[in-house]
Every structure is written in C-alpha cells, then in structure tokens.
Amino acid sequence: MFEQLKDSINPGKNPDLTHAHEFQRKHLPTLWLLGKTGAGKSTFIQVLTGLSSIEVGNGFAPCTRTAEAYNFPREKPVMRFLDTRGLGEADYDPEADLEEIGKLGHALVVVMKADEPEQSAVLAALSRIRKKNKISHLLLIHSAVLLSEEKDRKRQITFNEHQVEAVWGENFSAVAVDFETEDGSVYNYGVLVDTLEAMLPVIGMIVDSKGHTTVEERNFATVKNEVLWYAGSASASDLIPAVGLVSVPAIQAKMLHSLANQYGVEWDNSAFRELIGTLGSSFALRYGVKLGVRELVKFIPVYGQTVGAVAAAAMSFGTTYGLGRVTCYYLYYKSKGEAVSEQAMQDLYKEAFKKGKAASGYEKN
C-alpha cells in the first residue's frame, strides 16, 4: 500500500502541467466589478490585493469590449478580477462579460459612491444581468461613506439600496466602507472581507487579515499562494475531459519538490517517506483510498463528468492544499533539525483540508 502511494505521488520526473494550468487560468474564481467611473473599483482591488495603483493599472489586460481582467497574483493566479469599463454608457450590454466570468465560483460586486444617487447606467446593467439569471451572489459596496456627514450618510445609503432592490430584488448583501480614511486604514475592512469571503471563499485565503502568531505561520504565508495555485491546478485536472490529463498526484509531487526547494530541504524518497510517516499509516491509507475512488468516479460516464468531476475537483483542491500546508510545517521544522508530532500534523491537515475544500469554489456552502 505504502509503495503504491509513493509511486502514485512520485511519478515521472517532470509531468507536463500545461493543460491543467491553461484550464485553471480560464476558470479562475472571478470577482466581477460594476460601477460608474470613479466609484472606487480600482481602489477596491488595490485595498484587497495590497498592490499599488500602478501595479493594478499595469496588470489589467483587455478582455471583452467593455471589461478588463486582472489575474491575481499575476504569476500563479488563484482568482481573477473583471473590471467593467465605461459604465457611463446607458447601452452597456453585459452579454460578453457574462460569458467571461467563470462558470463555477464567481461573484458580482457593485460599487457606488454613497453621495452619488445618479446610478441609471449601473441599474440598467444590473437589470440586464438579472434577466440572465446566472449570478447567485451580489454585493453592493457603498464607497467613500466618510465623505458624507453622518446625518446624510444613512439616507444616501438607504436610497441607493432601494434603487438596487428595485431592479434586483432583496437578495443581495451590502456593506458601507471608506477606502481612504485619514489614518490610512479602510473603514469597515473586516466586514468587507468577511462578506466577500462568504461569496468567494478563496478571497479569505489571499487576504491575510488575521495575522500570524508563529514564525512557522509567517513562513507558510509566503508560500501559501503557491500551494493554492497547485491546489487550483489539481482541481482543474479533474475538470478537463478525460484524455491525456495529468494526475493529481503528479501535480502534488511537483508541489512537494518546489516547497522543499524553498525551505532548503533536500527532497528525496526518504524525506517523502518520513513526511507520510508523520501523517500516520491510517492517513496514508485513507488518502490512497480516496484517490482511488476519485479516479473511478471520474470515469463513470455522465455522472463522472458532471456531479462526480465537480465533487472530485473540490476534493483535489482540499487534499492538495492540506498536503501543501502540512508539508510546509514539516519542512520548516526539518530545516531546523526538529521533529514534528504526528498529532500536530494530522490536526493541521484536517483543518487545512476543510479550508481548501471550501476555497475551491466547487463546494456548495
């Protein structure tokens, strides 16, 4: 059993991941931004990503006639912003942009400056999008709320909310923020991130608002995006129609090599053996069995291509993220010449697996 798992996780030297990466890039969880010129869309992206305005400006690539896309992070993207341009035009046709947003895992964000009641173009766009019935989550962001006197603010917010409700119905969330306060913080940042995370879980993974208590966690934070990216590739490989696909273990093997490299630990069979050993034989067994089931389900026609493939994608994302997380933990202590406890490894894996599965965007709720 152990040898089998090792073989499956340590296949050919350098698997070709091109197709998985291409698929992944085309299907990134997407945050679609609508709003008038000057509403604060670009500022919102800066706040969320920590990028400068120049970086945000340079990172966008024209995508459709009316929208530009920003894959974030640019090198190994795990999500995508779609920024709609020119929403001053009343005849905006969202058709092409609707095609562009990912088929799975996407969210629509409308940004309105609190003191701007003239929103006819945005409302017309929303009404058209609503008719297509493809969007499950809408978040209305009231921006620049601190520019208004407190006595006006509530009335302005209520007014714009009613305008949205009139074309969209009651099924949306709203949050009042200010991206540019005097002390440089963002007013209501925590609420904003929590709301976004509920809509598009991967956002909670890339926005590090919670702070890291240990050096090990800080180290992981620097490679976390890469782990997420590999997890995305793994789930992509489940969704590519069957022929010639690269296996999830091959992607995980590549991830382990890369992580070991970054922690300055030599990666060979004995290191791998030791890592799996700390996870316990029951882990290895369960892990191996799950991979087997996953492969099977995928090749059952119809079921495998639809329900099965999507469920498998969530599983692969979760297992890859979980494995990446515990590997970093293991590598950190190994590089210091310290041993890790099996309990800590297994607890950490469980927690990370759950988080990863949710962040895949393929899991309902």
The yes or no reply on residue 41 touching ligand GTP (CB under 6 A) is: yes
The yes or no reply on residue 217 touching ligand GTP (CB under 6 A) is: no
The yes or no reply on residue 204 touching ligand GTP (CB under 6 A) is: no
Which partner, Mg ion, ligand GTP, none, binds residue 39 by CB below 5 to 8 Å per kind?
A: ligand GTP
The yes or no reply on residue 42 touching ligand GTP (CB under 6 A) is: yes
Q: Which of 5, 34, 39, 202 binds ligand GTP (CB under 6 A)?
A: 39
**Which residues between 248 and 287 bind ligand GTP (CB under 6 A)?**
none
**Binding-site residue total for ligand GTP (CB under 6 A)?**
14
* Residue placing its CB nearer to Mg ion in the complex, 34 or 312: 34
Which partner, ligand GTP, Mg ion, none, binds residue 119 by CB below 5 to 8 Å per kind?
A: none
CA terminus-to-terminus distance, the chain: 34
Closest CA relative to residue 333, chosen from 270, 253, 271, 242: 271
For 250, how many CA atoms within 13 A lie in the half-sphere containing its CB?
A: 16
Strand order of the β-sheet with 67-72 is: 61-62, 67-72, 79-84, 30-35, 106-113, 138-143, 173-176
The yes or no reply on residue 37 touching ligand GTP (CB under 6 A) is: yes
The yes or no reply on residue 189 touching ligand GTP (CB under 6 A) is: no
What's the CA dihedral at 8, 12, 18, 21 to 10 degrees?
Answer: 30
Give residues in contact with Mg ion (CB under 5 A): 41-42
The yes or no reply on residue 40 touching ligand GTP (CB under 6 A) is: yes
At what angle are helices 309-335 and 281-298 packed, to 10 degrees?
150
**Which residues between 160 and 179 bind ligand GTP (CB under 6 A)?**
178-179
Query: Strands 61-62, 138-143: parallel, antiparallel or unpaired by DSSP?
Result: unpaired
Separation of alpha carbons 293 and 225, rounded Å: 28
- Name the residue whose CB lies closest to ligand GTP: 40
Q: Are 176 and 188 in contact (CB under 8 A)?
A: yes
Interface residues toward ligand GTP, by CB under 6 A: 35, 37-43, 143-144, 147, 178-180
